[in-house]
Amino acid sequence: SAETRALYAQAFDMPEEKILLTGIPRIDAILHAGEEENRARLLDAYPALKEKKILLYVPTFRTAGLPDLDAMDACIDHDRYELVVKLHPLDAEKLRKQGKSFDRYPEIPTLRLMTVADAIITDYSAISIEASLLNRPVYFYLYDLSEYLTERGLNFNPLTEMPDCAFCDFPSLFRRIDAGNYDFAALAAFRKRFVETCDTQNTERIVSLIFNHLEAPSLA
C-alpha cells in the first residue's frame, strides 16, 4: 500500500517511487486458501472441535522470554473454546527445550488454521494483516508493549489505533472475545490501510512487471 511503501522507503533509504505497489504472492495464497474444505478436514480429524470456537494465537518472534501460555490457557472457557497456539518456530524450539508444547495440532499449517479460526490473536506480527484478508476477527495481545517499543519500535500501535480489540492483559481480551459484536468496519479500514491489492492477481502482476520492465541477462 502507499502507507507501507513510505515505511519501506524509509527503511531502505531510497525514494518512494522506487517502491512498486504490486502486492505479494502470499495474498493470492491466502485468498485461495479454501475455508470450507479446511474446516471440513479439521472437523473430520478432530470432531470434538465441532462444539467449540477456535481461538488461534500466533505471536511474533521474541528475542527474550515467551508469553505465559499457561496463564492464557487458564482464562479460556474450555467447554466453549479451544485455544490453538502457533509460536514462531524458534520460540517453539525454546519451549520444547523446557519440555513443553502448546501446539496440539502440529500437522496443521498456520494458514489453514487461520481459515477456520473464529478469532485470531496476535501482537506485532504481519499475521494481523493476513487475518484481515480472510475477514477474521483480529485481536492484539500486547502484554510486553512497553518493552517492545523500546527494543524494536512499531510502525503501527494497535493499542492506540485499534483500541477496541487491543489489550495488555489476557483476561480482558478474552472477555472482549466472549462478548462478541466485533467491529468489522474497523477491520476493513485496517485492511485497506495496509493492502491495496486485495485480489488474486498479485503473482501475475509481479511476473508481468519482471518480463515487461527488466532486461533479460545476456546468455552470450
Residue 175 pLDDT: 96
Residue 90 pLDDT: 87
Residue 219 scores a pLDDT above 60: no
Look at 23-27, 105-109, 137-141, 209-213 and tell me which has the smallest mean pLDDT: 209-213
- Mean pLDDT across the chain: 89
Residue 93 pLDDT: 86
15: left (phi over 0), alpha (psi -120 to 50) or beta: beta
What sign has the CA pseudo-torsion 39, 95, 79, 169? negative
Grid coordinates representing 153 are 519500535
CA–CA gap between residue 75 and residue 139 (Å, rounded): 16
Confidence of residue 217 (pLDDT cuts 50, 70, 90): low
Q: What is the pLDDT of residues 84-134, one digit of tens each?
A: 999 988 888 888 888 777 888 888 999 999 999 999 999 988 899 999 999
Q: What is the pLDDT of residues 139-183, one digit of tens each?
A: 999 998 888 888 778 888 899 889 999 999 999 999 999 998 899
**Across-strand partners of 206?**
none
Residue 35 scores a pLDDT above 80: yes
